[in-house]
Amino acid sequence: MQCKGWLKSIRPQLQSRNYESFLSEIYAAYFVEVNLGFEVTSWNPKTKEARDVEFCVQDKAGSEIFCEVKSPGWQGQLTKEEIYSGRAKRPKHSTFGETRGTTPYMKIRKTLDKSYKKFISNKQNLLIITDNLFKPPSFGPRMNPELGRKIPWDIYIALYNYHDELYSGKGCFRTKEYENLGGILFLNDRFLGKFFAWFETNPNANMPLNEEFVSEALKLNEQRIKLSERDYIKHDGTD
């Protein structure tokens, strides 16, 4: 941010109470630029109705991809009783043996809903989710017969579930309801330096993401699948 000349303008956000969420935005921009090779060209560009997204990257053809970053946190999974008791002021894992029911796929859908109003219909739009939930979406890909490829279970349910009566209805990418969104990049474990990542394109997007960007982003899935297979062999005792 310093090299791009943006540090002075963002300093108040870094000093705010919500600084962790803002650091996630910087982390996402860094990841896209360094790991995918697409330069971040602007910060907080305007979209519609005076809204803005986090940043824009430029593809090789000179077109912009508008990137919105959402960082759903564990505090949003607390009950009203827990909030009133001050649980949100304690560390994430502060209580030994604390248990709770979680549905990561629903958090993905709610995060998409929350961000969707910012996306312009005739622009390339990318949602980046960097979560800090009690139980993050599973990044362990498994073979899905319906799609004919491997995909993490929570991401499949959130985006492609086709049963109206199961898992709170159809996935977000099953219809054209979210046609202004070109794809979603999932990032987690950012503070451990592992950079677990997964990318999905929206088959119903009215403005698909640049083919070169999609090609580079899908390589993240290939890396994750290879890592998962290597871990399986290691724990299976056959290696």
The confidence score (pLDDT) of residue 85 equals 73
pLDDT confidence of residue 144: 93
H or E segment and range at residue 69: strand 64-70
Report how far apart, in Å, the C-alpha atoms of 82 and of each of 53, 91, 111, 134, 140 are: 32, 13, 22, 14, 31
Q: What is the pLDDT of residue 238?
A: 43
- For residue 173, what pLDDT is reported? 97
How many CB atoms are located within 10 Å of the residue 149 CB? Answer: 11
Task: Give per-10-residue mean pLDDT for the chain (239 aa).
Answer: 83 77 88 93 88 89 91 68 74 65 81 94 94 70 92 94 80 95 85 72 96 94 85 49
Say if residues 124 and 137 touch (Cβ distance below 8 Å): no
Full-model pTM: 0.85
Q: Which amino acid is at 139?
A: F
Find all residues with CB under 8 Å of 93, minimum gap 6, and list them. Answer: none
- Residue 72: predicted pLDDT: 72
Name the DSSP letter for residue 144. Answer: E
- Cα dihedral 82/112/188/12 (nearest 10): -80
